[in-house]
Amino acid sequence: MKTKSSIDIVQIKLAVSKELGLNLSKNTRNRSYVYGRAIYFKLCKEFSHATLFEIGKSVGREHASVIHGLNVFDMIAMYNDSIINVYTKLRDRLVKDNEESLKKYNEEIYYKIKYEKLLAEHEELIEKITKVSGVV
């Protein structure tokens, strides 16, 4: 059976906690914690083979909170660039730190993430060229 990767949810939790300076297990509904947990849930679903129950338990929540957090992530991703930037930064770091593991366990996810990163870089370059050349 192929798993998504060998990245442990503990590794993901540490990365998110360190980046945001938050204890994701803290029992609070403060927006920064809710958004931090949403990023954590999204990364866990993307990279780990952990169940919703295991992901929730790791931060003192139920599986339903994980589902809600994933929905929260999808909503804030549309309107909050800073959250997307944090998520992208962490995702890229996890990919870089676990490149061989990701290739070994799930090449599809690995190359999908690499493709999305290249596509974003391409769009940035197009924007810069447009600004420099004055073409609207």
Task: Write the CATH number of the domain with boundaries 9-133.
Answer: 1.10.1750.10
Digitized pLDDT (tens) for each residue of the chain, 136 residues in all: 333 556 789 999 999 999 999 999 999 999 999 999 999 999 999 888 899 999 999 999 999 999 999 999 999 988 888 888 999 999 989 888 877 776 666 667 667 777 877 888 888 888 888 888 876 5
Q: What count of residues does the chain have?
A: 136
Using alpha carbons, select from 31, 55, 39 the residue that is nearest to residue 93: 39
State the first-to-last Cα distance of the chain, in angstroms, to the nearest integer. Answer: 51
Domain boundaries, given as residue ranges, for the chain: 9-133
